[in-house]
Amino acid sequence: MIRLDESHIWKKLSSPYGNSEVIPSLVHELSKTLNKKIADELIWEHIYHQGSVYENTLATVPYLLKIVEESDNVEFNIDVIASLGVVLIYLDNISEIEQIFEENHLNEKEKKRIQVAFMDSIEKFRNLVNKYSHNTEILDEESRRFYLIAFLVSIKRHKEAEIFKTFNINDEYIFVCPSCEEETFFWNEENVLNAYSSDPTTNKNQEKLAVDLHESNINLEWLEKPIDIMNINSLKPLITYFKGDIHCHSCTKKHNIFKGIMNSI
């Protein structure tokens, strides 16, 4: 783990704006204040930007998790964990972590220290996600869906987590046919996923496509369980549709709806 006072190393870490040397002071201030604005600045401005992660991401995440682990502020802890869930979607294997170091500003010893500390922190992240998944009653519905992303990342369902990041508003889901790659648009209309062959925003007078709600052989227990634990009412009615099938309006081949949604990611 890179110490906060090793400024010569922090200065070398890649970041969105080339200013990783400010991170130690922000981490120190956050540990003293548990200020949400500082946490948001660290996460959304310095270590994660427009879907990208950096060397400073790997070095900072262990400190953020350490702060959460030592804090008894449940609201702050849940917020940081949920935010880190989005960051960690894109760090699901060792090869991706190694690719972050391609700029070669660090020596091998420095890289190893950062990498080992980050990998150790992933287990801490999983434990914290599980610990606070039973405290999500303090969150509103949208925030519970956001926390679901962290839960899925914690059980190594990174691609599935990206579905709920991409379609985070929960008003539509895009199905891409695994056979012909043609899109089908699923619109959430009063907790019913209606299927359309083209985007309903540009074609309002089209007929709905038939959806087969007889459950296919897909097992979504890993998704149903956290939805129930966190009582995410906006997603409960959609499970039936995720388990259903649809015939592609283009090639007519039948596919599970959730698999087609995954194919859009």
Tens-digit pLDDT profile for residues 70-114: 999 999 999 999 999 999 998 877 777 888 887 778 999 999 999
Q: Is the pLDDT of residue 166 over 90?
A: yes
Quote the CA–CA distance of 262 and 160 in Å, as a whole number: 7
CA distance 133 to 136: 6
Residue of 82, 56, 58, 54 whose CA lies nearest to 68:
82
**Has residue 123 got a pLDDT over 80?**
yes
CA 225/CA 207 separation, integer angstroms:
34
Q: What is the pTM of this model?
A: 0.93
The mean per-residue pLDDT over the stretch 205-219 comes to: 89
Q: Which residues, 6+ apart, have CB-to-CB distance to 205 below 8 Å?
A: none
User: Could you tell me where the DSSP H helices lie in 41-189?
Assistant: 55-70, 74-88, 94-99, 108-132, 141-154, 158-166
- Tens digit of each residue's pLDDT (9 = 90 or more) over 35-71: 999 999 999 999 999 889 999 999 999 999 999 999 9
Query: In the predicted model, is pLDDT for residue 214 greater than 90?
Result: no
